[in-house]
Amino acid sequence: PYRGREVLPALAQAFSSTIQVGSYQRFYFHHPGFVAHNVILRLHGSTNIPPLAAVDTLTATGSYVDFILGPRHLHALDIQGLHVQIPSSGTSENGTQFLSGSSSPSAAIVDEITANQSVLEVNTGQGKRPLRFFIHTLTLKDVSASKPMSYKVAFTNPVPPGELTAEGRLGPLKRNDLGNTPLSGKSRLTGADLGVFRGIAGKLQGEASFHGLLSRVEIQGSTDVPDFRVGQGQPEYLATRFHAYV
């Protein structure tokens, strides 16, 4: 079970990428699975742009029953040392449409994916520094191409810097138009330092709920800043409620 010639093409198809693996080893006890090291995914095989993702170690675990009844069903996929780089504005630097590969959905089903201590880097435009999200914990459950998955994530928000947690539902993914992929959930931001913005200061915390599509999300919530200050003025308590589309 879990031969490289079966598993690796499925991963490449799922992410519209070519895949390179430093080493690959199957195991059989107490459950069947595999371990892959130094995994690199290149969007549509492009070598003139940074890899879509790099992984130090990827461990997949299944069961012999699933291998017989559904050979592409995995119980767990644990990803260590994940570094994802998203092209600017959804496209790569050479104009290749992001994730516009085969429209055929992957048949793989994964009960749970974990990717703790990861980095997500989003390029915001030529000449600009990318936004880096340092992900402490990330768990995806019931992952497949045909139904929504649940997610739970905790990470450091880059601007304003603070700690953010979120959980909810995502999908099913619309491979030919990711913007129409459904998204919902709730989030909480704590300790966000407003001092990174010129002329104001204070520590913000807030909660929000959201739903919609990746291309248009309705969000509503509230924020509190106990020590909000403008310039050299005295600190004041500031509370807001908001309702917006992003």
The per-residue pLDDT for range 102-121, each reduced to its tens digit, is 555 566 788 999 999 999 99
Please, what is the average pLDDT of the chain?
Answer: 86
How distant, in Å, are the alpha carbons of 157, 207, 229 from that of 195?
14, 20, 9
Query: Can you tell me the distance from the alpha carbon of 58 to that of 74, in angstroms, rounded to the nearest whole number?
Result: 13
pLDDT tens-digit series, residues 164-221: 999 999 988 776 777 788 999 999 999 999 999 999 999 999 999 999 998 899 999 9
Mean pLDDT of 42-67: 84
Confidence check: pLDDT of 126 > 90: no
Asked if residue 93 has pLDDT above 70, the reply is no
pLDDT computed for residue 2 by the predictor: 63
Tokens 């990711």 label which residue? 178
Strand partners, 189: 164, 206
Are the CB atoms for 120 and 144 separated by under 8 Å? no
Q: Where does the pLDDT of residue 4 fall: very low under 50, low under 70, confident under 90, or very high at 90 and above?
A: low
Residue 102 has a pLDDT of 52
- pLDDT above 90 covers what percent of the chain? 54
| CB neighbour list of residue 30: distance below 8 Å, 6 or more residues apart | none
Q: What is the pLDDT of residue 65?
A: 77
* Of 246 and 70, the one with more pLDDT: 246
Q: What is the CA radius of gyration of the chain?
A: 20
Residue 153 pLDDT exceeds 60: yes
Give 149 or 126, the one with higher predicted confidence. Answer: 149
Q: Which has the higher per-residue pLDDT, 136 or 17?
A: 136
pLDDT of residue 47: 78
pLDDT band at 73; cut points 50, 70, 90: confident
**62, 73 contact by CB (below 8 A):** yes
* HEC secondary structure over 168-227: EEECCCCCCCHHHCEEEEEEEEEEEEHHHCCCEECEEEEEEEEEEECCEEEEEEEEEEEE
pTM of the model: 0.84
Which one, of 169, 166, 171, 174, lies nearest residue 150 by Cα?
Answer: 169
Strand partners, 192: 204
CA 37 distance to own-chain centroid: 20
Predicted confidence (pLDDT) at residue 5 exceeds the cutoff of 70: no
In which band, very low, low, confident or very high, does the pLDDT at 92 lie, cut at 50, 70 and 90? very low
DSSP code at position 13: H
Q: Are 106 and 68 in contact (CB under 8 A)?
A: no
